[in-house]
C-alpha cells in the first residue's frame, strides 16, 4: 500500500491545477476598519522602515496610542506622561530644558529628541540601543528616571481601568490588555507623527521659491551638512562623532556596541522643525541655532573617532552661518506642530 | 477515486496550508503545529500510517525538567536552597532562575518532523508549572529526537513587541539595548561568611555575542520514546545549571553580568562549547521515559 502519498500529491496537484510547487498561502491582514485611515508616504520620501506588518494600523489603534501618549497613568505615581518630555509645540521634543524631568523630578541623562518621521528610523535613541519602534517605549516606561513603572504592574493597572479596557477592545478586539497591545498602540501613534509640509517641501514641490538668502543657505547646506543630515528626512540615520567633545562624558554608541571605534558617536538627528526643538545636541548643551552654527563652524573638537568629513572643520563665515540658519527655518512645519490629530485628546475618562 | 475524496476531505479539515519544498512536504495544521515529511520517505508511508497516525491517532509528550547542580547532578537545585559548585567551591543560593527553551521539533523514526507552532517556553524555577513542557497532538509513533533552542532566535529579537512567553512582563528583556535576556540567575553567595549578591543576565543574539544555541535531545534504548493514541508520554530530563560556572570564573571574582559580550558568552557556551547552553551531554540529560 503505497497509494496515499500519491493520493496526497494528486490532491495537492489537482487542487492547484498545474503548479508543481505550491507556495505557502499568505493570509492578508484583514483590517476591521476599512475606512480611509492609512499611512501616507509623503511625495519624495523613501519607503518607511516600519510597515505595520504585525500591527495593522487603524483609526482606533492610533487614537488609543494618542490617549496613552498623553496619559500619566503610564507612570508610577501618575505624574508624568510621554508628553511631559515630548511636547507637540516643540516638535515632540522636551519643553526647552536640556535634561527632561521624570517622576519625582529625577533628571533623565540625555535631551529628549524630537519625535518626527520615526517610521523611517531603523534604530532609536541617541545611541541606537533600541532596534524597533514598538519596543522603544519600554525604555521610558521602565526607566526609574522617567516613568518608573514595571511592565507587569502597568499591564495590571491598565486592566483595572474601565476606560482602557473598552479602548483596547475597540482597537484590537482583546478582552485582556497585554504589553504587546500597549506597545502596538503607542507605535501606531508615534509612527504616524509625520512632518512633510514645511516651506522646504513646498519649494521642492515647485509651489513656492526660496528667498535668495534661503537659497544661499540651502546651497551651503548641501555641501557642508547633507552628507549627514541627508534630504528629505534630514538625517541618514547613522551614528557619528560630530566633534562636540574630545573627552567624552557620555560615550554614546560605544555603550551599546562596546566597540571603542564608536566612542562619542550619536544618532544624526533630523533637522525638520529644528527651530522648535531647542536646546540642541544629545545633552541639550546648545541653546540656539547661532550657537550650533558657531560650534559647527569652528568649535569642532578632534578625537580618534571624529567623523572624517569634519577633520578640517566646516569653516563657515558669519554670513554663511546666518544663511544656513535662515534655510534651516524653512524646515519648520506649522501644520505639524499644530495638527489637531496629534494634540492632547479631550479627556473622556 | 473514492479514496482520494476520503483523503481530501480528511486533509481539508486538518490541513491549513500545504507547501511542497524540495526535500520536505510541509503540512501546516490548524492548531499552529507543522508536520514536515521527507519527500524521499513518502513512498514508504502507507495509507494507514497517514490516516490513522497523522489524523486520527494523536498523543502528547510532556518534558519534565528537574534542576540539579554538581558534577554528576548529585545536588538538587531549588529556589532558596544552597548548592555548592563542584569545581569552584562556591556556595550559592538562587532567588531566581529563568531561561528560554524555544523552537521545539520532534523527529520520528521515519524522519518526519512535528514542529510546535509559536514555540517559546520560559522555564522559571519559581513556577512549578513552567517545569513541564507539554506538546499536544503529535501523530502516534516512535520519536527519536527533540530539536530545540536555548534562548530566543534572532528574528524575535528584532521584530518588535511580542506576547506569551516573550512578553516583557516576564522581565526577560533589555529595554536600553533591545534584546531578550536568555537566562537570568540571581541570588546570594558566601564570601568569607558574608552573604553577597550575584546577578547574571545572559543574552546576545547576533555576531560575536551570539549565545543562542540549537541542541538535540536523543531518545534511544532505555529512553526510547513512543507516542500512543490519547496518551501522554513523559520524558524526565535533568538540567544542570552548575555548568554555567565550569568555565566561567568563580562567583567571587565575577558576580554580575548585565549585557551581551565575552563574559556572557563564556558563561553560556563555556570553553570549547562545554557550557550550559552548548554542552552536548551534561546540561540536559534524558533520564527516563514513561
pLDDT of residue A3: 38
Number of domains in chain A: 2
Name which of A131, A136, A155, A252 to mutate to probe chain B: the one with the most chain B Cβ atoms within 10 A of its Cβ: A131
Averaged pLDDT, A165-194: 97
What domain range is A108 assigned to? 6-195
Q: Half-sphere exposure of B58 toward its Cβ, with a 13 Å CA cutoff?
A: 12
Confidence of residue A77 (pLDDT cuts 50, 70, 90): confident
Q: Do the Cβ atoms of B229 and B58 come closer than 8 Å?
A: yes
Partner-chain contact A139 B176, CB within 8 Å: yes
A35 lies in the same domain as A119: yes
Is the model more confident about A16 or about A230?
Answer: A230
A203 lies in the same domain as A283: yes
| pLDDT per position as a tens digit, A200-224 | 999 999 999 999 999 999 999 999 9
| pLDDT per position as a tens digit, A279-301 | 999 999 999 999 999 999 999 99
Nearest to B17 among A24, A131, A143 (CB): A24
A18 lies in the same domain as A155: yes
Nearest to B47 among A3, A15, A129 (CB): A3
CATH of the domain at A287: 1.10.760.10
- C-alpha torsion B38→B44→B45→B49, nearest 10: -140
Confidence (pTM) = 0.89
Nearest to B7 among A11, A22, A150 (CB): A11
Name which of B21, B177, B179, B207 to mutate to probe chain A: the one with the most chain A Cβ atoms within 10 A of its Cβ: B177
A294 lies in the same domain as A274: yes
A242 lies in the same domain as A284: yes
Confidence of residue A9 (pLDDT cuts 50, 70, 90): very low
Q: What Rg value do the Cα atoms of chain A yield, rounded?
A: 24
Furthest-apart CA atoms within chain A: distance in Å: 90
- C-alpha torsion A132→A134→A136→A140, nearest 10: -170
Give the mean pLDDT per block of 10 residues along chain B (290 residues).
34 45 71 78 51 73 97 96 96 98 95 94 98 95 97 97 97 96 98 95 96 96 95 97 96 96 96 90 93
CB atoms within 10 A of CB A298: 12
Cis peptide before A279 (omega within 30 of 0): yes
Q: Which residues of B touch A (CB under 8 A)?
A: 3-4, 7-8, 11, 17-20, 25-26, 28, 42-51, 157-163, 167-169, 171, 173, 175-179, 259, 261
CA distances from B242 to A297, B143, B216, B251, B262 (A): 58, 29, 20, 12, 19
pLDDT of residue A12: 42
A79 lies in the same domain as A210: no
A132 lies in the same domain as A214: no
Partner-chain contact A131 B158, CB within 8 Å: yes
Asked if the structure places residue A346 within a domain, the reply is: no
What stretch of H or E contains B213?
A: strand B213-218
Is residue A178 within 8 angstroms of chain B, CB to CB?
yes
pLDDT of residue A34: 44
Partner-chain contact A1 B48, CB within 8 Å: yes
Amino acid at each position: 500500500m503505497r497509494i496515499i502519498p500519491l493520493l496526497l500529491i494528486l490532491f495537492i496537484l489537482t487542487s492547484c491545477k498545474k503548479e508543481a510547487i505550491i507556495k505557502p498561502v499568505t493570509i492578508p491582514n484583514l483590517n476591521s476598519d476599512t475606512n480611509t485611515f492609512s499611512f501616507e508616504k509623503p511625495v519624495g520620501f523613501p519607503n518607511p522602515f516600519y510597515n505595520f506588518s504585525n500591527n495593522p494600523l487603524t483609526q482606533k489603534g492610533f487614537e488609543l496610542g494618542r490617549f496613552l501618549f498623553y496619559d500619566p497613568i503610564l507612570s508610577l505615581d501618575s505624574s508624568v506622561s510621554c508628553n511631559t518630555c515630548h511636547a507637540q509645540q516643540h516638535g515632540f521634543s522636551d519643553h526647552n530644558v536640556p535634561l527632561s524631568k521624570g517622576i519625582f523630578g529625577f533628571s533623565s541623562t540625555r535631551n529628549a529628541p524630537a519625535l518626527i518621521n520615526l517610521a523611517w528610523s531603523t534604530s532609536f535613541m541617541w545611541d541606537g540601543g533600541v532596534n524597533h519602534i514598538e519596543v522603544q517605549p519600554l525604555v521610558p516606561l521602565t526607566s526609574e528616571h522617567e516613568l518608573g513603572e514595571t511592565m507587569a504592574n502597568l499591564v495590571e493597572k491598565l486592566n483595572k481601568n474601565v476606560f482602557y479596557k473598552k479602548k483596547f477592545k475597540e482597537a484590537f478586539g482583546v478582552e485582556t490588555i497585554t504589553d504587546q497591545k500597549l506597545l502596538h498602540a503607542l507605535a501606531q501613534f508615534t509612527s504616524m507623527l509625520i512632518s512633510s509640509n514645511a516651506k522646504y517641501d513646498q519649494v521642492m514641490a515647485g509651489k513656492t521659491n526660496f528667498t535668495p538668502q534661503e537659497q544661499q543657505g540651502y546651497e551651503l547646506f548641501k555641501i557642508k551638512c547633507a552628507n549627514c543630515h541627508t534630504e528629505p528626512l534630514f538625517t541618514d540615520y547613522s551614528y557619528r562623532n560630530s566633534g562636540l567633545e574630545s573627552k567624552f562624558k557620555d560615550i554614546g554608541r560605544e555603550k551599546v556596541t562596546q566597540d571603542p571605534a564608536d566612542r562619542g558617536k550619536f544618532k544624526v538627528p533630523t533637522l525638520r522643525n529644528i527651530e522648535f526643538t531647542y536646546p540642541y545636541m544629545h545633552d541639550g548643551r546648545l541653546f540656539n541655532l547661532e550657537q550650533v552654527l558657531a560650534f559647527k563652524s569652528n568649535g569642532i573638537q578632534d578625537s580618534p573617532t571624529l567623523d572624517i568629513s569634519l577633520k578640517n572643520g566646516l569653516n563657515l563665515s558669519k554670513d554663511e552661518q546666518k544663511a544656513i540658519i535662515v534655510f534651516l527655518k524653512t524646515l519648520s512645519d506649522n501644520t505639524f506642530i499644530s495638527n489637531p490629530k496629534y494634540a492632547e485628546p479631550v479627556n473622556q475618562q | 477515486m473514492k479514496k482520494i475524496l476520503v483523503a481530501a476531505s480528511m486533509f481539508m479539515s486538518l490541513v491549513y496550508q500545504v507547501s511542497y519544498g524540495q526535500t520536505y512536504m510541509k503540512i501546516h495544521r490548524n492548531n499552529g503545529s507543522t508536520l514536515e515529511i521527507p519527500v524521499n520517505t513518502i513512498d514508504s508511508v502507507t495509507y494507514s500510517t497517514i490516516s490513522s497516525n497523522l489524523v486520527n491517532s494523536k498523543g502528547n509528550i510532556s518534558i519534565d525538567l528537574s534542576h540539579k547542580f554538581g558534577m554528576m547532578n548529585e545536588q538538587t537545585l531549588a529556589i532558596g536552597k544552597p548548592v555548592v559548585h563542584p569545581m569552584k567551591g562556591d556556595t550559592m543560593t538562587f532567588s531566581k532562575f529563568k531561561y528560554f527553551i524555544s523552537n521545539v521539533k520532534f523527529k520520528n523514526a521515519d524522519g518526519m518532523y512535528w514542529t510546535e507552532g509559536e514555540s517559546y517556553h520560559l522555564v522559571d524555577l519559581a513556577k512549578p508549572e513552567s517545569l513541564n513542557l507539554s506538546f499536544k497532538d503529535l501523530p502516534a509513533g516512535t520519536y527519536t529526537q527533540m530539536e530545540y533552542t536555548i534562548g530566543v532566535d534572532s528574528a524575535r529579537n528584532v521584530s518588535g513587541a511580542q506576547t506569551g512567553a516573550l512578553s516583557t512582563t516576564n522581565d526577560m528583556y533589555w529595554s536600553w539595548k533591545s534584546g531578550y535576556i536568555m537566562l537570568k540567575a540571581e541570588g546570594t553567595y558566601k564570601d568569607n561568611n558574608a552573604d553577597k549578591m550575584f546577578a547574571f543576565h545572559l543574552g546576545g543574539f547576533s555576531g560575536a555575542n551570539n549565545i543562542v544555541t540549537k541542541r538535540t535531545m536523543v531518545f534511544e534504548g532505555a529512553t526510547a520514546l513512543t507516542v500512543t493514541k490519547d496518551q501522554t508520554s513523559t520524558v524526565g530530563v535533568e538540567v544542570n545549571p552548575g555548568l554555567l560556572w565550569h568555565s566561567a570564573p568563580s562567583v567571587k571574582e565575577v558576580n554580575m553580568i548585565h549585557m551581551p559580550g565575552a563574559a556572557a558568552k563564556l558563561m553560556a557556551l563555556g570553553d570549547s562549547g562545554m557550557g550550559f547552553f552548548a554542552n552536548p551531554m551534561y546540561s540536559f540529560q534524558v533520564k527516563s521515559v514513561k
